[in-house]
Amino acid sequence: MTETILRLLTRLSEAGDDAILPGELAAPFFGPVFDRLLAKRIVVEQAPLSDWEVCDACECGLPFRPIRKVGDAFRAECPFDHRQDIELTKDDLRVFRIGAAALASVIGAAAGFGAAPELAAENVWHLGDTPSGRAVFLAMEPAALTGDGIIASLRQAAQGADITILAPKLPPETAQRHQDAGFHLVETLAVLIPASDGLGVAIDVAALAPVPLAPVLRVRRATAEVQWDSRSVILSRQIFPVFERLLEKAMSRDQVASGAHVEGTTAREAKDLIRELRDAFKAAGFTDAESKALIMTVRGRGYRLGVVAADIVVED
């Protein structure tokens, strides 16, 4: 894949707050696009370097070697061995800090989000919501997704919408935690594709939703049996009516059942009934995330089945 300056900046941003773009990596990109990045403060030029790392295995004992101006060029000199001197150009000495918030804003725009991203947690931005209603977040560095409260913070910012997180490759345990929460993880660099216009990148919004499994949900009323994703659950006579109330809503226009609707004529609270229903699916081998994907909470409104009417077959 052709390298673009924004892909390079995205990769370098994985270093977090200290992310910098060295002049030697920036130089091939100098030109009108780079000037626009400077103007938008996506890259912010810092004071030029005045020293350089010492040469490999050098015994000079210096922390750095000084850079000396030699005519129009510069030279990092080894006090021991001049064959180790490095000739540097003016561009090599330039250094740019990467403005994470400004970069987030460009990545959001590349995915077609009109509004500026909002900070949802430390170093995690809410880029916007897709036309199908997924809340899309961006984390530049893996560390931003490891905090204790991160799952709750993202849920709060998403306000009940399904969540997609654009992020660098995450450590397996961090990725697992987010997947268990029902979040869809997408590697930013996998979807940030070169484009010929603007700042040179685009994101296809279709790539931000999970590939739908589209399993058919099959319900047999007579036996209170529910089949989904090649597994089967027989619900108890107490809990099946709760499922039926969600089912009835799923087949209607507004697919969300309020808590009161879920409770029906039972004397029990909706959240307890929903938990019991999910537990029945888990007991049949569904993961916690799967049971919550099938019996979804719609924050502030109630509950719904995570299957559209077209994918539901009901038999008596």
Enumerate binding residues for Zn ion (CB under 5 A). Answer: 55, 58, 60, 78, 84
Min dist CB 87 to Zn ion, Å, is 15
| Beta-ladder partners of 166 | 138, 186
Q: Are 141 and 10 in contact (CB under 8 A)?
A: no
Cβ distance to Zn ion smaller for residue 84 or 227: 84
Min dist CB 58 to Zn ion, Å, is 3
Side-chain-side CA neighbours of residue 188 (13 Å): 30
Cβ distance to Zn ion smaller for residue 84 or 266: 84
Min dist CB 49 to Zn ion, Å, is 17
Which of the 8 DSSP states describes residue 314? E
Cβ distance to Zn ion smaller for residue 50 or 223: 50
Min dist CB 75 to Zn ion, Å, is 13
- Cβ neighbours of residue 153 closer than 8 Å, sequence gap 6 or more: 120, 121, 124
Amino acid at 289: A
Cβ distance to Zn ion smaller for residue 86 or 284: 86
Work out the burial of residue 101: count CB atoms within 10 Å of its CB; fewer than 13 is exposed, 13-18 middle, 19 or more buried.
Answer: middle
Cβ distance to Zn ion smaller for residue 88 or 262: 88
Min dist CB 27 to Zn ion, Å, is 25
Which of the 8 DSSP states describes residue 90? T
Min dist CB 55 to Zn ion, Å, is 4
**Distance of alpha carbon 125 from the chain centroid:** 9
Min dist CB 59 to Zn ion, Å, is 8
Min dist CB 5 to Zn ion, Å, is 33
| Beta-ladder partners of 76 | 67, 86
**Distance of alpha carbon 67 from the chain centroid:** 41
Paired sense of beta strands 43-45 and 95-98, if any: antiparallel
Cβ distance to Zn ion smaller for residue 54 or 305: 54
Min dist CB 25 to Zn ion, Å, is 23
Instruction: Match 């216009």 to its residue by tokens.
Output: 197
DSSP string, 144-206: GG-STTHHHHHHHHHTT--EEEEESPPPHHHHHHHHHTTPEEEEHHHH-EE-SSTTSEE--GG
Cβ distance to Zn ion smaller for residue 80 or 177: 80
DSSP string, 98-151: E-HHHHHHHHHHHTT--SPPEEEETTEEEEEE-TT--EEEEESSGGGG-STTHH
Cβ distance to Zn ion smaller for residue 92 or 141: 92
Cβ distance to Zn ion smaller for residue 83 or 237: 83
